[in-house]
Amino acid sequence: MGPVRLALLLSVAAVLAAAGAVYIPYNTSAGVVPGKLNVHVVPHTHDDVGWLKTVDQYYVGSNNSIQGACVQNVLDSLIPALLKDENRKFIYVEQAFFQRWWRNQNDMIKDTVKGLISSGRLELINGGMCMHDEAAVHYIDMIDQTTLGHKYIKEEFGQIPRIGWQIDPFGHSAVQAYLLGAEVGFDAFYFFRIDYQDRDTRKGTKELEVVWRGSKTLGSSADIFAGIFPKNYEPPPGDFYFEVDDNSPVVQDDPLLFDYNVEERVNDFVAAAVAQANITRTNHIMFTMGTDFKYQYAESWFRNMDKLIHYVNKDGRINALYSTPSIYTDAKYAANEQWPLKTNDFFPYADNPNAYWTGYFTSRPALKRYVRMMSGYYLAARQLEFFKGRYSSGLSTDSLGDALALAQHHDAVTGTEKQHVANDYAKRLSIGYTQAQELVSTSLACLTESGSKSRCASPVTKFSQCLLLNVTYCPPSEMDLTKGKSLVVLVYNSLGWKREDVIRIPVFSDSIVVHDSEGREIESQLLPIATASLNIREKHVKAYLGTTPGAKPKFWLAFPVSVPPLGFNTYFVSNLKKSAHISSKSTQYSPQGSESSNLQVGQGNLKLQYNEAGKLSLYSDSKTMVQANFEQKYKYYIGQDGNGSDPQASGAYIFRPNGTVPISTDGQVSLTVLRGPILDEVHQQINSWIFQITRLYKEKDFLETEFIVGPIPVDDGNGKEVATEIVTNMVTNKTFYTDSSGRDFIKRIRDYRSEWKIEVHQPIAGNYYPHQ
């Protein structure tokens, strides 16, 4: 009888198991419910186009010893996950990744994705090639990289992004709000990183969502609805991370398995929703379900979100729905709420008392300069590409445009990326420049040569360009002119107005004459090249080109140029020893001791005066009738090493000084004055590792400063942030002005914020602002 009884028991157990293990159709169809707290569940991933790994390493998932991240996996797993339930939704931002993925898909996948996009289940928001920075970038670069992405989305999918989604940049500019927000056509703009004190204040007054008026000039016409996340751009408090290797408890709703936790998970979700609702206006809140490089196995996330929406809505206390920022914004507009008004910007950003994110304003200055230089070049190259005619095959500016777009990323131009990633950005810019350089040369040759347009395919004239003028290297201008040769200098103006400026090129000969395109002699000036400038020439040229430059040039040749808008002018440099009009050699004067007292430099309206110590002491402008005491000093901040009670160190992101040290000049500053008909120069050896040149042009109302700093001594074991300081007797009442991404000026007051009361913990780092 034993075996029979056992079989009967097993049969009963099987019936019971079958009765308990039923298929559960999760109801995810909820929309907005009036009168209830509506939780908009927004699935997303944040994918940096370079940071710890390069953009391509992130995409293909290589170099995972640094970080386990593969964007290709995200997009590959996302599509089938969305297709499993028509109510599931997702937003994607970075077009640099999306376009890499898109071009490798077959027609069937492309048709499927187009359907998801047209139905709103997959929404491409923000729409730029990257999520650009807002401090170290110029507004033109912000526009260009956004345009590249939006153009692609419009052409490929017939869509125009509605929402700005700048969730990770380290502070937010007024230009982003009005120019890259309202003026782009966005209905709203969402972000995260604002000062921790500002956030705490806004939570208390329910002002995390505002109408942002970024422009005084445009006023209310450029207002935009702006939402600040209450904590971060990740899931809400309560452990709602559902990547396969995350530690959060999944929603376990099978009663036949251990760890059944539906009620617990629902309570956690409701508690997080109520807490966020208490600091948010209207009955709509957003849960950002995702973070950096998540959804590499998308079904893991959607399976748990399906369950949460299903069981939370069965519970009935609140309403949860799959949503997007567009749906959320529409609900906010429909609520007809009166929103607080925000003006100015959100700089500087700090996330705790000793962590002001102002260090990145100056991190990797060489890369910052390279990006800015290539940006100006890209503008000119695109114009010349248009003038010559763009063809489907052949030379183009596309490679440079793509490289510049990536370089605007908030971990690129900021200087916060790893070294090998910075190298990758620079390499892409170099490749892009090389291709654009050939196009520029060909286009200028076409414009200067007569004949039919068909000849532009192979022009005779060959133009060379001098990318390394900043290290005194320009092979075309260093040619031997003593054998009757002439150097043709073509100057192109990419701006929409006439330019009158002074250009400088390195030359060997001291018997130079310059003519314009009509054969008239142009006044010019020769200035001896400083030894400090020549010393960096060999090292940096070899590093850039891989070859050692030849003999060192002796002079800078400076001469005035006049160039029409969107046009060019040509100048001819030749050797002519017997001419009475050869370039004027600068007179050189090195005052000693008291000879420096009241030394005045400058031939135009602007004049500088130096004291007997060789230091700048007075500034005057006869045009504006302004005269002020004017002293320039160098100093350095010692970087906090993080070994104190607060482990926050100073670094690429954070500026946390641990003392300020004036840089000694060891008595009188070595001073050399060069004077000539076009400009005056003052050369100063501040100390053994700082050399400075100050230029005053006869026809300009500004001065130009060039400095060579380094190698910075670190034998004492201290990291150093070198700074120059201007001291005047102007009464400013702590007030000064900085630009916003190269555009509007914004009023600043030291140790003060106009919209909230600041507790000053870092009086130095907390008063640095971005400036273009």
Report the CATH number at residue 692.
2.70.98.30
Burial class (CB within 10 angstroms; exposed 0-12, middle 13-18, buried 19+) of 710: exposed
- For residue 28, tell me if it sits in a domain: no
**Whether 482 and 560 share a structural domain:** yes
- From residue 224, give the alpha-carbon distance in Å to each of 93, 352, 404: 20, 28, 27
Residue 226 pairs in a beta bridge with 189, 210
Confidence of residue 630 (pLDDT cuts 50, 70, 90): confident
Q: Report percent pLDDT > 70 for the chain.
A: 94
Domain endpoint, select from 583, 612, 643: 583
Q: Is 582 a residue whose pLDDT tops 80?
A: no
* Residue range 71-89: mean pLDDT, rounded: 98
Q: What pLDDT sits at residue 577?
A: 63
Shared domain check, 475 and 344 = no
pLDDT digits (tens, 9 = 90+) for 492-535: 999 999 999 999 999 998 888 999 999 999 999 999 999 999 98
Interhelix angle 365-388/398-407, nearest 10 degrees: 150
Q: Are residues 502 and 560 in the same domain?
A: yes
Q: Is the pLDDT of residue 7 over 70?
A: no
DSSP 339: P
- Map residue 278 onto helix, strand or coil: coil
Please provide the average confidence, as pLDDT, over all residues in the chain.
91
- Is 171 found in the same domain as 60? yes
**Same domain, residue pair 449 and 322:** no
Note the pLDDT tens digit of each residue in 362-381: 999 999 999 999 999 999 99
pLDDT at residue 184 in the model: 94
**Element at 528 (helix H, strand E):** strand 525-528
Q: Are residues 398 and 424 in the same domain?
A: yes
| DSSP assignment letter at 338 | P
Instruction: Look up residue 180 and give its two tokens.
Output: 């890259």
Q: Is residue 19 part of a domain?
A: no
Instruction: Evaluate whether residue 87 is within a structural domain.
Output: yes
The answer to whether residues 450 and 485 belong to one domain is no
Question: Does any domain span residue 172?
Answer: yes
| 391 and 527 share one domain | no
Residues 490 and 619 placed together within one structural domain of the fold: no
- CATH classification at residue 524: 2.60.40.1180
The per-residue pLDDT for range 407-459, each reduced to its tens digit, is 999 999 999 999 999 999 999 999 999 999 999 998 898 888 865 455 566 77
Average pLDDT over residues 381-385: 93
**What's residue 4's pLDDT?**
41
Is the Cα torsion angle 79, 81, 82, 84 positive or negative in sign? positive
- Please identify, among 583, 611, 626, the residue that sits at the C-terminal boundary of a domain: 583
Among the ranges 16-20, 324-328, 662-666, which has the highest mean pLDDT value?
324-328
Q: Say how many domains are in the chain.
A: 4
Q: What share of the chain is helix, strand, coil (3-state, %, to 5)?
A: 30, 25, 45
22 domain-assigned: no
Residue 560 is assigned to a structural domain of this protein? yes
Same structural domain, 139 and 174:
yes
Q: Are residues 379 and 276 in the same domain?
A: no
Q: Which residues contact 68 (CB under 8 A, 6 or more apart)?
A: none
Residue range(s) defining the domain that contains residue 146: 34-356
Band the pLDDT of 10: cuts 50, 70, 90: very low
Q: Is the confidence at residue 596, as pLDDT, over 70?
A: no
667 within some domain: yes
Q: What is the CATH number of the domain that holds 438?
A: 1.20.1270.50
- The enclosing domain of 331 has a CATH number of 3.20.110.10
Same domain, 452 and 516: no
Residue 768 inside a domain? The answer is: no
Q: Is it the case that residue 14 has pLDDT exceeding 60?
A: no
The residues, any chain, with a CB within 8 Å of residue 350's CB and separated by 6 or more, are: 195, 196, 197, 356, 357, 762, 766
